[in-house]
Chain A
């Protein structure tokens, strides 16, 4: 029945009646207006039943008009954009909106699992804990899946979110959170003083409750004042207004987290616009003007659709021009809620009664009732009739009489709670205000924060305006500005003593405290009987205050019931801890741009494009992409690796080693620094030479290894493994700044500056010689093994050449400034073509280093010492170095310690898996018999056998012994012979030709 907005009030509200927005709810077509929320549009169309509750599947309607809504949760949109548990009260209506109710089957009106209601006596607090305890194995397989199917609310889309999210940063002098009377006043005071102001409002309209009340400011309707204030703020150059932006958390250093729903009010985000944007706002000062949240009074069947908070009723009438019912009863313990009767009557809604549960009669209430044509009754709501929407309420009066009122709307109010959540995010505790009967912000606010308006317990309009202005001016002053004199005097204390009524005793039916989690008054009392005393414990036991609303409308009522049940003063019971986020934040917004390949930056070597052209397969090494291998068409992976290894060992190969960490070490004490960080000596390394070095952590375990070359007396060039480059740089910084600030040495990363290629193989020299400019000599005599020097190549390009070898072959590493890296690899390939050059990747590199018994990542695993790696003899006894002292600990020098050895399977065709454990030949594969494990394995094309490196207890003394290699993961056991880790060219003759 599109177009029949039967509850739309004529001439009221701020929606744009010139335009119509069509939408669907549960497949039915409706219409509303721009400026509506989904909730107001549903109410306008007479829809009151919008969902089923979490546990009992009870029919639920709309309780509030804001982000505190516990009930009206729907699935918004469909397909990949489907969003479960979206609050209908915060969804801005757009043309084409499609929403579906949740937790019902087969339909909202006829829901099979609502039989759960009949079992409510069973489903008390802690039901799951008490019931599904035995047998334990059933929990995971049976109970949990069953409970998850029956309970729980909406379902997320399992498709990839098609929208883009992003994060951004903003800075200001004064952040104002909330744009009601207090927030607008604060922002105006601060911005007019010259401060940089950011004003965040979670709604799509500025004004807060000014939009919802029939108030006047300076003789004009409050809504007009709000519009003028917003316009003035817009005109100030240093005021940034952020609508649809929730400040959800306060963090250290004046940092606030906020989420901006950039495109949530549109069917799909406009081209190039993100769906949502996560803001990190850094503010010198902040003014929290988040307003208040009304609390209910609890009574039997208080969750029926049509029972609504009084303030929300006024919002629907005044802001949206919607009558949430035709016949109403008002049930309230405070003066503020009386306005509801007045506004309803003015809108033509029949108000049957004002029910006042306070012990003393109120003359003011009686007068309002008279003006609204309603009865004034002192008493309480005893019961509500009408499952899918209330039909009548039964009122029990103070004299014990009882009367039934036909109505379809019950507006209730138990007073207001300050929305002070952000004041507690850094550990502050709220304080109990006994005069106001609510928690107010405590002393211990986040640094730089002030609270104004209802969030500070300043509930009257005058107090909101005055406290907001004062806080805004004060904040500006703290930032060094001079605000002009305040316009509004602070009103006399408007702390009318409150007589809060938390729930109606002896009402009929279940009285719910937490609507979203189906927690009733009786559950809290049961928890108290079972010994729970602390609200945070009661929360975890009963689930009161959990899930999307975090108990915004239920926490204090729950605490009050707990206080009464345990015979304590409510102020002494305390509250649950509020943590960020204030309202739910989507995971997409938290991820921002960093999804998929953008999860983190990718580092690409200078030869990356060229390697792609060669069909390289890449592997991630830290953030780097390295070529794993260069397969040729039709080649299996093992064939590729064998070919790359064999070609390097017989002809010549080239490998990009640019990703290795490179650190430039300069200064008169450069040699001394290296002496102290490496276990072996470096201070006397001649200029023009390079040396392999091992560095330890302070605790004596190996940290990293690499070669360091001396380019000049006061200039060394260190290399590290790719994975540890950053760690080693930090280590050197620490040494310089903390350990030995007296050393005159300067270090800086040079990793990115140099493209470096290892050209290895018997024909390597011929290739390098073809690149060298004339008149330079790299013969074995002029440039022997471990030599280094500066050269020019390819017509004047500066190059550094190092005669280093990881492969065990005659090899040169040639480095050029990285911008020449791409053309140099092409030049190397061209120069090497006649010598059969082929590139090799990290897989072949790994095979060759295993063949040579060089320790690498799997052996440098943080648990091995120099001795374990077979490098114990390298350690200098003539100098001190990091790790020496702790390395002398007994356990690190026991004879039985696992040390590195080689392994050859007895059957050369048997693969030894990395991670396999070693036991004696005849021993059982048990933990007790464990003697070590395999760290690296490879197939050696030269030896035509699988080989491995392993850490074996007392390994070096067990050459020739046969051990059992156990791989319980795959159920394999095989025998292997312990041998030297130097499988190929153990004397290193190939390096020196």
Chain B
């Protein structure tokens, strides 16, 4: 007996409406420098499936084989990512990966991984615990440098590269997707992240775009 009349969102099994980590902080629009094209464009990648995969003891080879057969991706050893069948697998530590998916939205990714990797890995759902911000634009590296001590030179931080680091004192997982950088941050610091981004991108002009 649903007690709220709330629209159903895509990819969700719930009748409740979800709330973005940036809700109430970031309204779509232009911030900082007004003239010319925005140097930095930011958007939130909503309803992503996000999950950690931690290999069970002695099961790493079997886990890799299972991922290869299910998704056609080779789990990377190190801070980089592999993409296969709608899922990006990012190395975050020895025997640990962070999985990101558009198509397996929200809890669906963790649910599927739990089923397919039964006994091989411990899966934890983070689809609500992290907000993934996509940051791009001609000045993206200069803006990110104001909080992130990672060398983003394209020859060093190649496409698919990833880093577990801190951004302006906030723990983040960052990866490069083409010319864009995705930053997964803890949901609770959405407001602080926005405050930092707004200040750091102001001199280049910041466009905040909402996605459906």
Contact = CB atoms under 8 A, between A and B. Distances in A.
Contact of B15 (A164, A601, A795): A795
B187 interface: yes
Interface in B118-168: 121-130, 142, 145-146, 148-151, 153, 156, 168
Interface string B8-28: 000001111111100110000
B191 interface: yes
Nearest to A715: B122
Given A168-B146, A797-B14, A823-B19, A272 B203 contact: yes
A817 B168 contact: no
What is the interface residue range for chain B against chain A? 35 or more
Interface string A253-296: 00000000000000000011110000010100000000000000
Interface in B154-212: 156, 168-170, 186-193, 195-196, 199-200, 202-203
A604 B191 contact: yes
Nearest to A262: B203
Interface in A807-832: 816-824, 826-827, 830-831
Interface in A654-711: 664, 666-668
Contacts of A272: 32-33, 202-203
B57 interface: yes
Nearest to B202: A272
A750 B52 CA distance: 11
A794 interface: yes
Given A593-B199, A601-B168, A795 B156 contact: no
Contacts of A603: 186, 188-189, 192
A503 B199 CA distance: 53
A604 B190 contact: yes
Contacts of A668: 56
Contact of B6 (A274, A598, A798, A823): A823
A666 B16 contact: no
Given A164-B199, A598-B196, A794-B3, A752 B16 contact: no
Nearest to B205: A272
Nearest to A196: B153
Given A593-B196, A796-B15, A753 B54 contact: no
A609 B189 CA distance: 14
B124 A171 contact: no
B19 A752 contact: no
A239 to B, nearest CB: 13
B101 interface: no
B80 interface: no
Contacts of A818: 128-129, 187
Contacts of B56: 667-668, 744, 746
B81 interface: no
Interface centre among A166, A755, A830 (most CB of B within 10 A): A166
Given A272-B203, A744-B56, A830-B3, A822 B188 contact: no
A603 B192 CA distance: 8
Interface string B36-53: 000000000000000010
Contact of A797 (B16, B20, B24, B203): B16
Contact of A602 (B145, B153, B192): B192
Contacts of B19: 606, 609, 819-823
Contact of A798 (B13, B145, B151): B13
A817 B189 contact: no
A171 B107 contact: no
A593 B14 contact: no
A598 B192 contact: yes
A748 interface: yes
B4 A830 contact: yes
A169 B190 contact: no
Interface string A169-206: 11100000000000000000000000010000000000
A594 interface: yes
A170 B149 CA distance: 8
A169 B3 contact: no
Contacts of A604: 188-191
Contacts of A771: 3
B176 to A, nearest CB: 15
B29 interface: no
B15 A819 contact: no
A752 B2 contact: no
A164 B23 CA distance: 26
Nearest to A270: B203
B169 A594 contact: yes
A593 B24 contact: no
Contacts of B202: 272
B16 A664 contact: no
A773 B14 CA distance: 11
Contacts of A746: 54-56, 121-122
A534 interface: no
A417 B204 CA distance: 42
A774 interface: yes
Interface string A775-805: 0000000000000000000111110000000
Contacts of B2: 794-795
Contacts of A827: 3-4, 16
B206 to A, nearest CB: 10
A751 interface: yes
B36 to A, nearest CB: 12
A666 B122 contact: yes
Contacts of A225: none
A167 interface: yes
Contacts of A831: 3
B139 to A, nearest CB: 12
Nearest to A753: B129
B128 A819 contact: yes
B200 A593 contact: yes
Contacts of B125: 753, 817
A573 B19 CA distance: 69
A797 B191 CA distance: 26
Contacts of A25: none
Interface string A68-102: 00000000000000000000000000000000000
A605 interface: yes
Contacts of A168: 142, 145-146
B2 to A, nearest CB: 4
B131 to A, nearest CB: 9
Given A593-B146, A746-B56, A794-B14, A598 B195 contact: yes
A597 B183 CA distance: 22
Interface of A: 164, 166-171, 196, 271-274, 280, 282, 593-594, 597-598, 600-606, 609, 624, 664, 666-668, 714, 742-744, 746, 748, 750-755, 770-771, 773-774, 794-798, 816-824, 826-827, 830-831
Q: Which 4 A-B pairs have the closest CB atoms?
A: A795-B15, A752-B129, A753-B129, A666-B122
Given A604-B190, A794-B14, 11 more contacts: A272-B203, A601-B170, A624-B188, A752-B126, A753-B126, A774-B1, A796-B13, A798-B14, A818-B128, A820-B17, A822-B19
Interface of B: 1-4, 6, 13-20, 23-24, 32-33, 52, 54-58, 106-107, 121-130, 142, 145-146, 148-151, 153, 156, 168-170, 186-193, 195-196, 199-200, 202-203
12 contacts: A196-B153, A272-B202, A593-B168, A609-B19, A609-B23, A742-B57, A752-B128, A773-B1, A794-B16, A817-B127, A819-B127, A821-B19
